[in-house]
Amino acid sequence: MSLEKLLENVDIVAVTGQSEAVITGIASKHRAVKEGYAWICYKGVHVDGHQFINRAIEKGARVIIGDQPPPQDLPPNLTYVQTSNGRIALSHIAANWFLQPAKQLRLIGITGTNGKTSTAYFTESIFKAAGIKTALLGTIDYHFGKFILPAKTTTPDQIRLHNLFVRIADAKIKHVIMEASSQGMAQHRLSGLTFHTGAFTNLTQDHLDYHHTMESYLESKLTLFRQIDPESGCAIINTDLPTANRVVEATNAPVTSYGIKSKADLMAGDISSDLNGVSFNAITPKGKVFIKLPMLGDYNVYNALASIGIGLHNNCSLSQIKKGLESTAVPGRFESVNCGQDFAVIVDYAHTPDALENLLQAANRIKRNRSICVFGCGGDRDQSKRSMMGEIASKLADYSIITSDNPRTEDPDKILAGITSGITDKTRYHLIPDRRIAIRHAIEIARTGDLVVIAGKGHEDYQIIGKEKLPFDDRQVAREFLRGCLKTLS
């Protein structure tokens, strides 16, 4: 591809060297550079990519594209393109290299602190019931057709994203459901894309280690709504949120509101929960429909309403919406682990204060005896939420077992101390840093009618200790100990 074609829509500050170079490939990681490649660099969260310019040249880069002035010792046969923003440039370059595959697709973006994954799976299930082929790119994995690919990040980097778009379009799939993370949008991974539908689930504290302020966090999420097609698009917004007006103001697209407490286009009534799930009447502009979700948690009613809005905007009928919602399974979201024991065990991804509060409130509505909560907080992440989560657990759980989540490179004892600083009743918790032992202890002390909630990791099948990613699945560990306990009793 010609350099001119590659740089379409890129904001160029200056070009040093030849402007008629022919490119054989693109890379944003210097290790991936090959002969004849264009290498795009920028200042990252921890490392400035510009420091690897010489390595990229050694590996055969023909063009360097960065957002800093060129180095003084630039080889004469090399082209250096300075842009105003390297990350934004990468989005346009990736789209150009793969020949704008997103233009063949209908992009559906879902953002919010909590509920993105559940809403995405609800939407996918509705589309399946309506006979609409879909792709889903999110926290758990990227899947479409017969392909299931691991998700390193909720929102893929630009080169992987547009490569996925090519594969999705080649598979004759048009609808792409995407979880749009705040970090992904802050890093301009979705720049240049036009969305057909966007949904905003909620906004509560998370990722402040990255965004620093709630205002910055919100601003990153508003990016999605500025990219919705104002003619054919639709913004689906939870109007029970204090920030709802900010989202409405950010978009030029028509808005469909949803809520439970405030009057909205889509509403839920007669909400009821039991151990088999949560049911409600969905009130929509197309009529009323009774929904029985096969998962627990009243907060999932909000996620379902968002997906109903997406379904209606994509011409799904109420009967298709009902069928889809009632057949949805979301890995690691209020997922039951049942080996025939006389108490309930639930595994959930809740790893923020708001998510943990919603989870425990939902658990308390259906428990028959005590609620026992196993949870921790991630290391090298927002420390301010630790005491908040400790306080929430102390108020809502009958007994808590504080343990490690993904401690990463942080001292686990320091993380646990941050959590326990928010606990007022010191008699109703136990510290067990080893997560495996913590889960075993919760199962061993559970009695008939108790509800054991294992929170924080959900679908994850690993634990990060130091810099190692070790195999660990809360569901498998719980199942192992449950079978052991039942075998002992028999």
Backbone angles phi, psi at 6, to 5 degrees: -60, -30
3-class secondary-structure state, position 165: helix
Look at 34 and 486; give whichever has higher pLDDT.
34
Check if the beta carbon of residue 302 is closer than 8 Å to that of residue 236: no
Residue type, 164: L
Q: Summarize pLDDT for 70-113 with one digit per residue, the tens.
A: 988 888 889 999 999 999 999 999 999 999 999 999 999 999 88
Check if the beta carbon of residue 432 is closer than 8 Å to that of residue 438: yes
Which residues in 354-467 belong to E strands, given as ranges? 371-375, 399-402, 429-431, 451-455, 462-465
pLDDT at 298: 76
- Indicate the average pLDDT of the chain: 93
pLDDT at 485: 80
- Average pLDDT of the segment spanning 237-246: 92
Q: How confident is the model at residue 210 (pLDDT cuts 50, 70, 90)?
A: low
pLDDT at 156: 94
CATH superfamily for domain 335-489: Mur ligase, C-terminal domain (3.90.190.20)
List where CATH 3.40.1190.10 sits in the chain: 101-325
pLDDT at 374 over 60: yes
Q: Summarize pLDDT for 428-461 with one digit per residue, the tens.
A: 999 999 999 999 999 999 999 999 999 999 999 9
pLDDT at 84: 96
Between helix 86-97 and helix 158-170 the angle, nearest 10°, is 20
Mean pLDDT check: name the lowest of 141-150, 161-170, 205-214: 205-214
Check if the beta carbon of residue 247 is closer than 8 Å to that of residue 225: yes
List where CATH 3.40.1390.10 sits in the chain: 3-97
pLDDT at 211: 52
pLDDT at 4: 94
Mean pLDDT check: name the lowest of 140-154, 205-219, 327-341: 205-219
What is 3-97's CATH topology? 3.40.1390
Determine the distance from the C-alpha atom of residue 335 to the mean position of all C-alpha atoms in its chain, rounded to a whole number: 17
Please tell me what DSSP assigns to residue 324.
Answer: H
Query: Which residue, among 198, 475, 439, has the nearest Cα to 347 in the 3D structure?
Result: 475
Task: In whole angstroms, give the CA distance from residue 429 to residue 465.
Answer: 23
- Average pLDDT of the segment spanning 57-71: 94
Q: Which residue has the tokens 């300075």?
A: 82
Look at 486 and 457; give whichever has higher pLDDT.
457
Mean pLDDT check: name the lowest of 111-115, 211-215, 404-408: 211-215
List where CATH 3.90.190.20 sits in the chain: 335-489
Q: Summarize pLDDT for 304-324 with one digit per residue, the tens.
A: 999 999 999 999 999 999 999
pLDDT at 489: 59
CATH class of segment(s) 101-325: alpha beta
pLDDT at 203 over 90: no
pLDDT at 404 over 60: yes
How many other CB atoms are there within 10 angstroms of residue 105's CB atom? 18
Task: In whole angstroms, give the CA distance from residue 75 to residue 159.
Answer: 27
Best-predicted range by mean pLDDT among 160-169, 208-217, 362-371?
A: 160-169
Query: Could you tell me what percent of the chain has a pLDDT over 70?
Result: 97
- Average pLDDT of the segment spanning 360-385: 93
Task: In whole angstroms, give the CA distance from residue 29 to residue 15.
Answer: 21
* Tokens linked to 104: 């063949």
